[in-house]
Chains A and B, each alone.
Chain A
């Protein structure tokens, strides 16, 4: 198996609107892939299309060499994928623990073990487990969102801007967590605004523009690419 996730020539959009114009996204087993690009480039749309939330009009999505194009999110969760959307990624009126339990809805038997695992990664959540997720701080909410997606022990974790709206300190923590998750050979596909930090930990990077791959390379190579640096990384490096 060369790729854990292999999405090829995706064409998708909202209603009449076409946003993705044949973009490719891949994740190798146990590696980290990062998608960067300007606002509105179609990064979130690519994630949604891969996760079966949008109709894929053309192209294909394969997970562990199995064609999953057009599968429901429920099926993808069963197969071993987890997804944290960019916005509205917790159940605000449910308690932290209930949020996490929902992550293991398809396999109740994994709940206990999943809770232990998530609480050991995010100890703060254990203290807040009875609190409604809507009352948490932005960073804590992100932890709940990531924790929820990890309850079923996915082999691929898809994160859409996991560090949006968190302090630099928590941002560092979240990157560390992602690396830690990745160490246990979980593949990670993430979209990041903090492109420089993200590409630094990426095995593969994708730069999207108007729904197409502008650059596809190793994280290191993209960081070193002056074109990419000028247009997408901001400042000097």
Chain B
């Protein structure tokens, strides 16, 4: 075994393993934080959260098409990112409208949680219908060639490539590369900024503290003079913002499709429950744990084994713990295990 092989194995592990886990973990984190905040304040499992993410991505896509056709190109910043504020605003408005015209009605009549859950499933179906009506049923790429004033503009995903040229000179046979796409890079930046911002908001602002107070004890919050209706609105603003960011960046990194985020619902709920329902930073931890578990369950170790023990193994079969088709079973298994052993989550949250 040579040093070059060790390096190859390590870079492959980071590139295909860790980076992937962090990418999907960031998406889960942004979604799970929203889910857990909504649960903490409104006390129900918001199943329509995934579709709020997809809705945000759809609006961002529409905005991107418009901007691109106006001839706007701001490389290296992806055009989709310019459309993000529009997506965030639209998703916030959508969340507030749904709350005002659907959930508020059941709050006023003091309905039991199961009614809210069923209602949010109904909202899911409605949103999925609207999303398909507006955006069609097909997949859509954020990066395409647009024609503006007879001039065609091409934008590609923009890869941030680390080729380790300086190392290659020293290690013959070191060929692996690290590849981060522009959307991934922005995803990491947005996730970090959003989570730091949220932490500051919840712990150092009056409204943020009032949110935690309502999550702790709604009746006492009212008695203290806290405007619970306003806290509910702020919650939707935050959840909508994070959902739109996550949906848009996910769609930019892969592609937009009508079931973009509905598929993420299970892992996001697993993350929120694992982190302790109602605990935003528990949800973040849960998100990265679920993402790491899921990624490494289906991670193909064959290339690594190939680099390290090429001479000793037969390298024809995949060396993943779980076949890729069963990826969704991993968060499901985590969810079941958490519910059995620690239903309050690792950070002692509420029980669903």
Residues A148 and B216 in contact, CB atoms below 8 Å apart: no
Residues A94 and B224 in contact, CB atoms below 8 Å apart: no
Say what secondary structure dominates the interface of chain B: helix
Nearest CB on B from A236, distance (A) = 39
Residues A108 and B220 in contact, CB atoms below 8 Å apart: no
Chain A neighbourhood of B221, CB < 8 A = 91, 102
Would you give the 0/1 interface string for B175-210, flagging 1 where the beta carbon is closer than 8 Å to chain A?
Answer: 000000000000000000000000000000010011
Residues B209 and A83 in contact, CB atoms below 8 Å apart: no
Residues B206 and A89 in contact, CB atoms below 8 Å apart: no
The answer to whether A85 and B223 touch (CB under 8 A), given A98-B209, A101-B209, A105-B206, is yes
Contact of B220 among A78, A91, A106 (CB under 8 A): A91
The answer to whether A73 and B222 touch (CB under 8 A), given A88-B217, A91-B212, is yes
Residues B213 and A102 in contact, CB atoms below 8 Å apart: yes
A102, B209: Cα distance in complex, Å: 8
A214, B42: Cα distance in complex, Å: 41
| Max chain A C-beta neighbours (<10 A), residue from B219, B220, B225 | B225
Nearest CB on A from B51, distance (A) = 30
Contact of A91 among B213, B225, B227 (CB under 8 A): B213
Residues B212 and A106 in contact, CB atoms below 8 Å apart: no
Residues A105 and B226 in contact, CB atoms below 8 Å apart: yes
Chain A neighbourhood of B217, CB < 8 A = 88, 90-92
Extra 11 A-B pairs, beta carbons < 8 Å, given A74-B227, A85-B219: A74-B222, A85-B223, A88-B219, A91-B216, A92-B217, A93-B216, A94-B212, A98-B212, A102-B226, A103-B224, A105-B206
Residues A74 and B225 in contact, CB atoms below 8 Å apart: yes
Q: Does A53 contact B (CB under 8 A)?
A: yes
A103, B223: Cα distance in complex, Å: 9
Query: Quick one: closest A residue to B203, CB to CB?
Result: A98
Chain B neighbourhood of A94, CB < 8 A = 209, 212-213, 216
Chain B neighbourhood of A72, CB < 8 A = 222
Nearest CB on A from B30, distance (A) = 23
Nearest CB on A from B242, distance (A) = 21
A residues contacting the other copy or chain, number (CB 8 A)? 25
Nearest CB on A from B228, distance (A) = 9
Nearest CB on B from A201, distance (A) = 24
Chain A neighbourhood of B215, CB < 8 A = 93
A92, B216: Cα distance in complex, Å: 7
Nearest CB on B from A165, distance (A) = 17
Q: Does A77 contact B (CB under 8 A)?
A: yes
Residues B216 and A105 in contact, CB atoms below 8 Å apart: no
Residues B220 and A89 in contact, CB atoms below 8 Å apart: yes
Q: Does A206 contact B (CB under 8 A)?
A: no
Nearest CB on A from B314, distance (A) = 55
Residues A90 and B220 in contact, CB atoms below 8 Å apart: yes
Residues B223 and A51 in contact, CB atoms below 8 Å apart: yes
Chain A neighbourhood of B222, CB < 8 A = 53, 72-74
A94, B221: Cα distance in complex, Å: 12
A93, B222: Cα distance in complex, Å: 17
CB-CB contacts below 8 Å: B220-252 with A: 220-227
A91, B226: Cα distance in complex, Å: 13
6 contacts between A and B (CB under 8 A): A85-B223, A90-B217, A91-B212, A91-B217, A102-B224, A106-B225
Chain B neighbourhood of A85, CB < 8 A = 219-220, 223
Chain A neighbourhood of B213, CB < 8 A = 91, 94, 98, 102
A51, B224: Cα distance in complex, Å: 11
Nearest CB on B from A16, distance (A) = 14
Chain A neighbourhood of B223, CB < 8 A = 51, 53, 73, 77, 83, 85
Chain A neighbourhood of B227, CB < 8 A = 74
